[in-house]
């Protein structure tokens, strides 16, 4: 009986302790914490810092990365609603989503001057990619013996200029993050299928890839 009575007393004490901890008086608790902190870990604070601490600072909203499968579906629907971009090819790879756009749809022939169609495409992309934080990259490609105007000394410089032009179009449309750009010149031309005609291969060689990375 004595053991049983001790057990009941301990249980009663335990439940009383739990009940007392269910509602903490924040002011009293904070005063205890501050007193303990000052006595054990004294900190000297600049009064000017206290004044600045009271200023209203806008809170930033962290953007979230989106799964590539979802982005692929959204972009596919967007492009289906805009037939003028029907020649854009989408490829879902293991770690990235690639949108290959023929250069003829984006630039005046032989130049890095973007067309109105390129600006509309940039606006469409920003509508989908602006609210998310997935990394976006731009790759420029050209065909062998590419016709170039504007004094470019190499096809590599030309493809970099085209990639930069699309990056600039995205920023003008409201994209507010940095976009890495790469010029591949005609180095990826050999990757195109040999089953295509030379005209088709040349058309696909002159393109810009918009690459969207995994979160």
30 and 80 housed in the same domain:
no
Are residues 78 and 152 both part of a single domain? yes
pLDDT tens string 104-161: 889 988 888 999 999 999 999 999 998 888 999 999 998 877 777 777 888 889 999 9
Computed over every residue of the chain, the mean pLDDT equals: 80
- Asked whether residue 24 falls in the same domain as residue 98, the answer is no
- The pLDDT, as a whole number, for residue 49 is 43
Alpha helices in 88-154 (DSSP H): 116-129
User: Are 133 and 179 found together in one domain?
Assistant: yes
The domain that holds 161 is classified in CATH as 3.30.1330.60
Domain range for 31: 2-53
32 within a domain of the structure (yes/no): yes
Q: Are residues 76 and 44 in the same domain?
A: no
pLDDT in tens, 68-96: 888 888 898 988 888 888 888 888 888 88
Under 8 Å CB-to-CB from 85, ≥6 apart: which residues? 79, 101, 105, 121, 124
Q: Which residue has the tokens 């003829």?
A: 104
pLDDT tens, position by position, 40-69: 444 444 445 444 444 454 444 445 667 888
Pick from 62, 71, 67: nearest CA to 99: 71
* Count: domains in the chain: 2
Is the predicted pLDDT of residue 177 greater than 50, yes or no? yes
């Amino acid at each position: 009986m004595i053991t049983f009575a001790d057990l009941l007393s301990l249980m009663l004490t335990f439940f009383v302790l739990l009940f007392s901890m269910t509602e903490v008086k924040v002011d009293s608790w904070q005063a205890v914490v501050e007193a303990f902190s000052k006595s054990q870990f004294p900190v000297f604070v600049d009064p000017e810092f206290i004044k600045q601490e009271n200023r209203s600072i806008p809170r930033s909203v962290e953007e979230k990365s989106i799964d590539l499968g979802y982005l692929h579906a959204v972009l596919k629907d967007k492009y289906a609603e805009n037939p003028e971009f029907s020649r854009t090819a989408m490829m879902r790879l293991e770690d990235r989503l690639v949108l290959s756009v023929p250069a003829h749809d984006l630039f005046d022939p032989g130049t890095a001057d973007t067309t109105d169609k390129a600006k509309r495409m940039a606006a469409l992309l920003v509508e989908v990619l602006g609210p998310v934080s997935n990394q976006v990259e731009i790759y420029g490609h050209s065909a062998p013996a590419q016709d170039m105007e504007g004094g470019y000394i190499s096809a590599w410089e030309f493809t970099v200029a085209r990639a930069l032009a699309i990056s600039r179009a995205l920023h003008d449309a409201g994209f507010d993050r940095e976009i890495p750009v790469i010029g591949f010149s005609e180095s990826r031309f050999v990757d195109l299928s040999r089953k295509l005609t030379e005209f088709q291969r040349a058309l696909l060689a002159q393109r810009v890839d918009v690459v969207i990375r995994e979160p």
